[in-house]
Amino acid sequence: VYVVKDGKAQRRAVTLGGAVGDSRQVRGGVSAGERVIVEAPAELGRRRDEFRVRRDYLLPALRALGFHIPVTPEGAFYLYADSSQLTADSDDFAQRLLEEAGVAITPGRDFGLHAPTRHVRFSYANTQAQLQEGVRRIAAFLGRSAPRS
């Protein structure tokens, strides 16, 4: 396992007890203020694969709708998209998309200073079905046909 304290991880042997939900109780080898991350390579691999499938759906769908996304993320759960072909104000665009289509995205101003009014962020930490419904709603909001899955 890894034991984390003050943002630093250290690999250490600890005594694990019985299962509690999806995690394990730590019975020894951990001090106050430390937390334990139990290695679960199979589970991590499964989750990585799920995120890849979601990304591989959402990325071309958003590109087809007019969002410019020049780089395919390798380890994220979101897409940072240039929306300047669709709007001059990502804050207003995100607010209208939420109010009129029921889709929540985040305007670029929440993620830095590089042309924030041109960018929006889409999370794919959701189910495939919800992502597909979101794309369908965005397409309708833009007056376009939804890309095929």
Structure tokens at 148: 């095929």
Judge whether residue 1 has pLDDT over 50.
no
Pairing of strands 78-82, 119-123: antiparallel
User: pLDDT tens digit string along 78-137?
Assistant: 999 999 999 999 999 999 999 999 999 999 998 888 899 999 999 999 999 999 999 999
**Roughly what angle, to the nearest 10 degrees, separates helices 128-142 and 41-64?**
10
pLDDT at 47: 83
Distance CA 120, CA 90 (A): 6
Residue found by looking up tokens 């965005």 in the block: 138
pTM of the complete model: 0.72
